[in-house]
Amino acid sequence: MTRQSRTSPAGSERSLHQAYDTALLDLDGVVYAGGEAIAYAAESLAAARAGGMHLAYVTNNALRTPGAVAEHLGELGIPTEAAEVITSAQAVARLISEQVEPGSKVLVIGGEGLRVALRERGLVPVESADEEGLAAVVQGYGGPDLPWSRFAEASYAIHRGVPWYASNTDLTIPGARGIGPGNGAAVEVVRIATGAEPQVAGKPLPPMHRETVLRTGAERPLVVGDRLDTDIEGAFNGEVDSLLVLTGVTDAAQLLRAEPRHRPTYVDRDLRGLLTGQPEVAAAGEDFRCGGWTAVAGEGVLELRGEGDPVDGLRALCAAAWTQAGDGSCALDAGKALARIGL
């Protein structure tokens, strides 16, 4: 895949777990939500692994260590080694280590995942802005109970000129009760207080993609995610293919409005999509056909007729919407069309 504008979801005659050597899987909203496995995730991943696909879990959540994430996945019925987990904490720790001296002190605003990643790179995590010789401030998701005083601690150091780094800037994070504020919301607090801008490592930016490739050795990777602005854009920036699953943050309406960098290669309901091929979307004049559905961009609206698998209808609608939008974002009303397929 190149970075040209995508105007339709792609098809694949081969099942995706056979067409790609490694799945780079997001966690929150893809494999689990609120600590519980998403439906069909465990069995789909087991089948993909048995079919020869390597699995790597790539998360912007910097709270937990790779070992803790692997243990949790095992409890959900997904046997995983710590080395198969790549976090934004690891990516930002590498980024910092390339810009400061070995053994430097780094103020941590976040959880244990950041501390472990910093130590892995030979850096010393500290808790106070008053530490002598402080070389950097790093901010990552610290859970819903992270004290407000930690944001103040970061601000004190940044105001003194200490370089600021962030593991990621996801504004939201899915949980058992719904969508809550993510690390990006916390970063905004510090940005407003200081007027500074952090260096960011996580998806969709290059440091995270580099970290993932270095740790997995993937040659034909497939990014699997639920977010357009991190997972899919990260795949676009890394010039690799992607699969969007509809089990997390992104809904069908947002997908239809996606700009080029947010358009996935493939779309499916959940992780069962790894085990199947992907149907082609066929263009016939102004019509776009997928399965039993036909979509067309009408006067101010997206129209859909036919019947069949709802996701095929969504694929056809994507082709009509993205073609109409070109390099922009589709502004057509898709409400009635989406109601027909229940997505």
Rounded CA-CA distance 158/137 in Å is: 7
Rounded Cα distance between 155 and 158, Å, is 5
Decide: 293 and 324 in contact? Cβ < 8 Å: no
Q: List the Cα angle 272/303/285 in 5-degree steps.
A: 90
Check 28, 170, 229, 231 and give the catalytic one.
28
Residue 226 DSSP class: S
Strand order through the sheet with 164-166: 124-126, 105-109, 134-139, 164-166, 199-200
Q: How far apart are CA 27 and CA 15, in angstroms?
A: 21
**CA dihedral in degrees (57, 63, 66, 71; nearest 10)?**
-90
28 is catalytic: yes
The rounded distance, in Å, linking the Cα atoms of 14 and 106 is 47
CA neighbor of 112 nearest in space, from 72, 152, 67: 67
Decide if 93 contacts 116 (C-beta within 8 A).
Answer: no
- Specify which residues 175 forms β-bridges with: 178
Got the DSSP string for 247-259? Answer: TSS--HHHHHT--
Interatomic CA distance for residues 121 and 335, integer angstroms: 50
* H or E stretch at 298: none
Residues forming a β-bridge with 108? 138
Structure tokens given for 303: 């129209």
The catalytic position among 26, 170, 226, 241 is: 26
SS3 of 180, please?
Answer: strand
Contacts of 226 (CB under 8 A, 6+ apart): 26, 28, 29, 30, 174, 244, 245, 246, 247, 248, 249, 250
> Which residues are annotated as catalytic?
26, 28
